[in-house]
Amino acid sequence: MQKLRRIVALSRFLTVRYLRDKTALFFTFAFPLIFLVVFGGIFGSDNGPSFDVALINRSTEPFSEEFVEIAAQGDFLNFQETEDFEVASEQLGRGEFSAIVELPEGFGALDEEGRPSGSIITYVDEADQQQSAAFSAVMQGLLDGVNAQFIDVDPPPLAIEQQSIQTANLTQFDYILAGLIGFSILTLGIFSMTEGFAVDKKNGALKRLRVAPIEAWQLIIATAISRVLVGILTVAVMFIVAVVFFDFNMRGDYLSFGLFTILSTICLFGFGMAIAGWAKDGNQAAPLSNLVAFPMMFLSGVFFPRFLMPDFLQAMTFYLPLTPVVDGLRLILTEGSTILQIGPQLAVIGAWIVIIYTVAFKVFRWD
């Protein structure tokens, strides 16, 4: 019991110390926040996919003008009128447009029954299958809507139902937020140890600590506690920024969020502790930290979703410790899962905690 009280007492001082360390604060708070603001600005406040489309109107029929007006009202299509097909093609190639829509000569001319008729020609980049399919669907929907408006006859024999895709309306920002929170926990857990702890060991501050009747496991736990406290603070700040500045909608419950943050911090800190506990100084710790942290940053779904990876890579990276952290955060934050519903993530994190702390206790050196 007395040992526990000593651990808690020590952890208070370690936390205060961390919160006064300007470099540590920058990397823990400011750095991820900068990412959040930049990525959030790019992807944020997004109501879903939208397409920038070049529109070439060669028709002189009055209906073609009306068609353009109707089309522009939709949320999903941003039309930009242009005259030059060649230029538009180049821009399509560069990704500035998702498609080119051409209203050919005679489009909208009234047929025998007095209905506007004609075909729209759409040009899409054949290299981008996913986007082309999505765009076609949207265009078809638009056409169907127009058909329904202007043709007041019985529904045509081949009725086309406009299918609206029911999604949870996940935006790219939702993915990014989970990823960046995971990123900040990674920074806190691993890089803060390379800087702080390794330096303390090299300059003898840890040795001075050891003069007192403290054992390695007590120091490890006290440091873990201090990191968890800072972790909660960091994540809370990022969350508040997301809600206030990027209209983020929390879909999960805060208890699950909090518990999962604590668990994730404990897990990733284990790696930082194993490395810094073993290394003699920063020169030994830094390469190891980079070796562990950087691959995870790119393979665990921090900056882009893992479903974009080939299957075999997805399968392998599932077991990296940061992956279940990012996935779990996303499931809780944006899909409303509770902590009890993310069993697979908890299992992987739990397994890593057992493994990495066993290693950390074994390889720890005071100097």
Partner 1 sequence: MKYVLEVKNLKKRYGSITTVDGVSFSVKTGEIFGILGPNGAGKTTTLEMIEALRSIDGGTATLAGLDVAEQPNRVKEIIGVQLQSSSFFDNLYLGELLRMFGGLYSQQVDVARLLDEVQLGDKIKSQVGTLSGGQKQRFSVAAALVNNPKILFLDEPTTGLDPQSRRNLWELIQNIRDKNITVVMTTHYMEEAELLCDRVAVMDKGKIIALDTPDKLIQDLLKKGFKKKKKVQEADLEDVFINLTGKELREG
Q: Which is nearer to partner 1, 110 or 208 (CB)?
A: 208
Closest CA to 125 of 76, 79, 92: 92
Closest CA to 225 of 25, 26, 7, 22: 7
Give min distance, CB of 348 to partner 1, in A. 35
Q: Which is nearer to partner 1, 22 or 94 (CB)?
A: 22
Q: How far is CA 252 from the centre of its chain?
A: 16
Q: Which is nearer to partner 1, 207 or 287 (CB)?
A: 207
19-55 burial by CB neighbour count: b if 16+ within 10 A, else e?
eeeeebbebbbeebbebbbebbeebbebeeeebebbb
Would you put residue 56 in left (φ > 0), alpha (ψ -120 to 50) or beta? beta
Q: What are phi and psi of 202, to 5 degrees?
A: -65, -40
**Interface contacts to partner 1, rule CB under 8 A:** 2, 5-6, 9-10, 13, 16-18, 20-21, 200, 203-205, 207-215
Give min distance, CB of 8 to partner 1, in A. 9
For residue 187, the 8-state DSSP code is I
* Spatial contact of 329 and 182, defined as CB atoms under 8 Å apart: yes
Give min distance, CB of 242 to partner 1, in A. 29
Give min distance, CB of 219 to partner 1, in A. 10
Give min distance, CB of 186 to partner 1, in A. 23
Q: Which two tokens stand for residue 209?
A: 């600590």
Q: Strand, coil or helix: what is 34?
A: helix
Give min distance, CB of 277 to partner 1, in A. 17
